[in-house]
Amino acid sequence: MSTMTTPTAARGGSWLLDETDPSAVFTPEKISDEHRLMAQTTDEFVDNEVLPQLEALEEKNWDLARSIVRRCGELGLLGINVPEQYGGIELDKVSSLIVSEHIARAASFGATFGAQANLCILPIFLFGTPEQKRKYLPKLLTGEMVGAYALSESGSGSDALGAKARATKQPDGSWVLNGEKMWITNGGFADVIIVFAKVDGEHFTAFIVEKAFPGVSSGKEEHKMGLHGSSTTPIILQDAKVPADNVLGEIGKGHKVALNTLNFGRFKLGAMSAGGCKSAIGDAAKYAAARKQFGQAIASFGAIKHKLGEMTARTYAVESLMYRTGGLIDASLAATPHDPDDGSAVAKAVEEFVVEASIAKVAGSEALNYVLDENVQIHGGNGYVKDYPAERFYRDARVNRIFEGTNEINRMLIPGMLIRKALKGDLPLIAAAKKLQDELLTPSAPSIGFGDGGRLEEETKAVAAFKKVVLMVLGTAMQTYGQKLTDEQEVLSYIADIVIDTYAAESAVLRAKDAGATRLKDLHDDAVRVFVNDAAQRVEMAARSALAAMSEGDTLRTLLAALRRTLKVTPVNTVAPRRRLAEATTAKGGYIFS
């Protein structure tokens, strides 16, 4: 734990081993005028053109959905990451986070938008040939064509590479596809679908399939728990005829297209979740201020303040890690000279942050579920009926933990990808874990942690300790199980939870330190204090459970003693900071850090 990194030098996962300079971290407080304009454009679009149409969308008026997609195209929202030569506006990744975050206030349309921009336009930009890009991108970017992404099948969701759909090459070089894709967003009205099928039942490959091709049709709309204003159908391929030129990427390399697309999607789903949290906090704060019981606004009760304070602290942490990651990707792209038309360079830069993308997906979707559940609770009976939006928000959000890789699968990916980076020599994790183990297993080892002698010193020490806990538990797991660690999903999940809390806590601390001179400085500190204090308890619990799962007797006792020496975090009074956060939220009628 020595070197100081800036985003230009950063590699995915390196934050775990290095200290980061707060001034080098991208935070929501650093957004530019251009970013602000993007947020305002998206907000106005959602307020004026999407939310008023929600009922008609929920009645499955797909002509309307298409016209709203076209409006997105006119406003430039579909082409944030695509070069101008194809009709995009090519802004940085932070801009695309901002659009995702703000569009999420209309969750159903957010799904339509995500399938178009992230799951169809992006893979064509990342992996398409120049001809494919010229043919499809301009029409997808204006919204003249609607896109979809068909990976899942009824028998293969998480196990996406187990797909049964087949592609057979014809003597003229064209392809015939057979199979049925399941739960496809925009399935009812998409024109262009990225379809995954196995060539000769073996080589997993991506194809650009037009709905107008013979043999392609969509099945019935699914009756879903939420997102009623978004289309979800099977896509049926019955001897579907696909031209030779419509293979996307290489034959047998469909997994690269699928995984890189999902990687982007996860990162943006994190942003959408942050947007959903902020919107629900506004809903909850206004209701709590207006609703009176026992002669006073329910916002004045400690139990409700606890909820509003906690909703704010969790959202703060997710927002901090999202923007930090966006800044890391932008810095990495800026530091790597590349042709803007070279999608593979962009895919590589994002792939570097695969761990952070999974963290964003899991942390974002789970914070959102928490916030929306508490929003229902703050609304009481009114939270359970359709007259208020709280119940729809709650239903709409549940799927975020399921699609773009379930949270269980993403939890496996987090330690899995860290270990892979370590074994490839990209991250000196194994040496760091070994060094730490030698230190920790010396009974006289001094307690660990460092302070900056200033603001948030305890929280800074706590984050340093969390990082040591990651190394300790991950190192012990690798030693204990070796190659068989992949079979120990419970232990991997505990490790993922510790990594998630560590990245979230560090991102929040760095952001608050950097916001030291701002008007809201004290509230930044309150959010950090609440989040880090609770994260310390979660990290300790997960570490104890993981260590107990892999050792016993004297070994376990020694490891637990080392854990106690490492994670010496004194609990703080979180009631007062939560109350301050809640009172500021109620006074503003919304999320205080926007």
Q: Give the footprint of ligand FAD on this chain (CB under 6 A).
A: 115, 149-152, 157-158, 183-185, 224, 227, 232, 399, 402-403, 406, 408-409, 489
Is-catalytic flag, 404? yes
Give the CA dihedral 298, 593, 71, 247, nearest 10 degrees. Answer: -110
Ranked by CB distance to ligand FAD, the top (closest) residue is 157
**CA angle in degrees (0–180, nearest 5) for 467-469-471:** 75
Q: How far apart are CA 306 and CA 202, in angstroms?
A: 54
Q: Identify which of residues 73 and 265 has a Cβ nearer to ligand FAD in the complex.
A: 265
Give how far the C-alpha of residue 221 lies from the chain's centroid of Cα atoms, to the nearest Å.
27
Q: Could you tell me the sign of the dihedral formed by the alpha carbons of 19, 20, 23, 27, in that order?
A: negative
Q: Identify which of residues 41 and 406 has a Cβ nearer to ligand FAD in the complex.
A: 406
- Rounded to a whole number of angstroms, the minimum distance from the CB of residue 139 to ligand FAD is 20
- Rounded to a whole number of angstroms, the minimum distance from the CB of residue 229 to ligand FAD is 12
Give how far the C-alpha of residue 266 lies from the chain's centroid of Cα atoms, to the nearest Å.
4
- Rounded to a whole number of angstroms, the minimum distance from the CB of residue 396 to ligand FAD is 10
Q: How far apart are CA 448 and CA 452, in angstroms?
A: 14
Q: Identify which of residues 76 and 157 has a Cβ nearer to ligand FAD in the complex.
A: 157
Q: Identify which of residues 366 and 408 has a Cβ nearer to ligand FAD in the complex.
A: 408
Q: How far apart are CA 165 and CA 151, in angstroms?
A: 10
Q: Identify which of residues 228 and 324 has a Cβ nearer to ligand FAD in the complex.
A: 228
Give me the residue label for tokens 């290489």. 250
Using an 8 Å Cβ cutoff, are 90 and 319 in contact? no
Structure tokens at 423: 């074994």
Q: Identify which of residues 242 and 528 has a Cβ nearer to ligand FAD in the complex.
A: 242
Nearest Cα neighbor of 502 from 542, 446, 454 is 542
Nearest Cα neighbor of 217 from 182, 245, 175, 188 is 188
Number of other residues whose CB lies within 10 A of the CB of residue 434: 13
In angstroms, the Cα distances linking 410 to 119, 354, 360, 361, 471 are: 18, 10, 10, 8, 19
Structure tokens at 407: 């949270």
Catalytic residue among 153, 374, 404, 459, which? Answer: 404
- Rounded to a whole number of angstroms, the minimum distance from the CB of residue 145 to ligand FAD is 16
540 — phi, psi (to 5°)?
-65, -45
- Rounded to a whole number of angstroms, the minimum distance from the CB of residue 225 to ligand FAD is 8
- Rounded to a whole number of angstroms, the minimum distance from the CB of residue 162 to ligand FAD is 10
- Give the residue numbers marked as catalytic: 404
